[in-house]
Amino acid sequence: MFSFYLFAFIAMPFCSIGQAAGNWYYNQSKSGKSIDYSGSINNANEAYNYRQPQQQAAYYPVYSSNDTSFTVEAKVMMNVKADEYVIIFATSQVGETIENCHDVINKRLDNFINSVLPLGVKKEDVFIDFISQFPIFEVEVEKKLFSKTYNEIPKGFEVRKNIHLRYKDSKIVEQMLIKASQNEIYDIVKVDYVINNSQAVYDSLRATCVRIINEKEKEYKKLGIKYDSKYQTVRDDISSIYPLDRYSTFTEFVKYTGDVTKPGSKSLSRSNVPALYYDKQAYTGYDLVINPAVIEPVVQFTCNLTVKYVLKKQ
């Protein structure tokens, strides 16, 4: 019988705000994706990964499916800092007329755009996305002798627009948030992380996987393993994990709910905004993690290369 298992142990080898989550996260919690696993897991399938150390030694077996074939696998991850970002703010305006709504919201958006230009944002990197306009009604009660009639009458209009901004320096986000709030823009929809040349990243990962498989073959040959295969098959799986999908909740030990604008105030308010943190994909099971120590959200690229050897019958 041609079956064997080989186990080798090797060790893999200004704070940024959590800008990627935005309001997008809260919408996902309504879809059933988010659960409370000790206050820190947002996907039940990730419970196992959560319990593993972030940088953990892994074993690399040669899987023997039967006496005529076996596979050699290499899994590599690379943490890549974004080349640029796109942040989306949402805003709305209520007014008595459509014209008034557009005039006021456009003035707010223009003021905001002009305020972020000194931060390095260019006008060509700004886009205004018109979302909707609709009438607002109020109910008027008409009293009669023996009854009441409730009639809807037009009260005004509401206009909603989103503003998209592209930027390269993540350190300007805090200033953008301040400028936005000064123009009554408070909702951050999300932040997209952009990698300009993802193909180059995958090419590098694939080349690393090939090198690791070749190194494994050399080590396995020391055990007398022969690679006189009848033929070989190769499977190449690649993927990318963006920060938007890697924010989890945690349970705060102490949560202040008083009026923070008035020290010593005894008034209390209830906040339903969950506490979030960036929880990168665990490193468990990877042969190699390139740029493992990250202090800010990154895009995590992975490549899994599997070579199957179908041996000649003896």
The amino acid sitting at 262 is K
Higher-pLDDT residue of 296, 269: 296
Distances (CA, A) of 171 to 19, 24, 61, 120: 11, 21, 43, 11
Same domain, 204 and 68: yes
Percent of the chain with pLDDT over 90: 48
237 located within any domain: yes
Same domain, 25 and 54: yes
Mutual angle of helices 173-182 and 98-116, in 10-degree steps: 150
Same domain, 61 and 77: yes
Separation of alpha carbons 88 and 165, rounded Å: 7
Same domain, 28 and 39: yes
Domain count, the chain: 2
Same domain, 238 and 256: yes
Q: Are 201 and 81 in contact (CB under 8 A)?
A: no
49 located within any domain: yes
Same domain, 94 and 57: no
Separation of alpha carbons 45 and 33, rounded Å: 10
- For the chain, what is the radius of gyration of the CA atoms? 28
Separation of alpha carbons 252 and 271, rounded Å: 12
Q: What average pLDDT does this structure show over 101-114?
A: 95
103 located within any domain: yes
Same domain, 173 and 237: no
Q: What average pLDDT does this structure show over 211-215?
A: 94
Domain limit, last residue, from 126, 159, 194: 194
Domain limit, last residue, from 194, 227, 262: 194
Q: Are 209 and 302 in contact (CB under 8 A)?
A: no
pLDDT digits (tens, 9 = 90+) for 237-260: 999 999 999 988 888 776 655 555
User: Which residue range forms the structural domain that includes residue 209?
Assistant: 9-82+196-311
Output the pTM of the full model: 0.71
Percent of the chain with pLDDT over 70: 68
Separation of alpha carbons 140 and 151, rounded Å: 5
| Burial class of 309 by CB neighbour count within 10 A (0 to 12, 13 to 18, 19+) | buried
Same domain, 117 and 129: yes
Domain limit, last residue, from 194, 217, 236: 194
Residue 106 has pLDDT above 80, yes or no: yes
2 located within any domain: no
Same domain, 270 and 135: no
Query: Residue 48 CB: number of other CB atoms within 10 A?
Result: 11
pLDDT digits (tens, 9 = 90+) for 8-62: 333 333 344 455 566 655 555 555 554 333 333 334 344 333 333 334 444 444 5
Q: What is the CATH number of the domain that holds 190?
A: 3.30.70.2970
Q: What is the DSSP letter of 287?
A: S
Separation of alpha carbons 129 and 89, rounded Å: 10
Provide the sign of the torsion angle of the four alpha carbons 254, 255, 258, 260, taken in this order.
Answer: positive
Residue 66 has pLDDT above 60, yes or no: no
